[in-house]
Amino acid sequence: MQEIFATDGDVRRICDFFGIGIDAAMRYTLALAKADPDTDSEW
């Protein structure tokens, strides 16, 4: 999770770093956006 915060949710960098697909990276990024009350996300 720290890597997602460190990259500001940059899905491409997360994919490259962990070797996962875009769908998986988006799932993690969106889950963290929901958990972070400081984001402007409406998800």
Q: What pTM does this model have? A: 0.64
pLDDT of residue 16: 93
Predicted pLDDT at 43: 43
Give 20 or 8, the one with higher predicted confidence: 20
Task: Answer yes or no: is pLDDT of 42 > 80.
Answer: no
Task: Give the DSSP letter of residue 19.
Answer: T
Which secondary structure element, helix H or strand E, spans residue 35, and what is its range?
helix 22-35
Mean predicted confidence (pLDDT) in 13-24: 93
Asked whether the beta carbons of 22 and 11 are under 8 A apart, the reply is: yes
The total number of residues written for the chain in this structure: 43
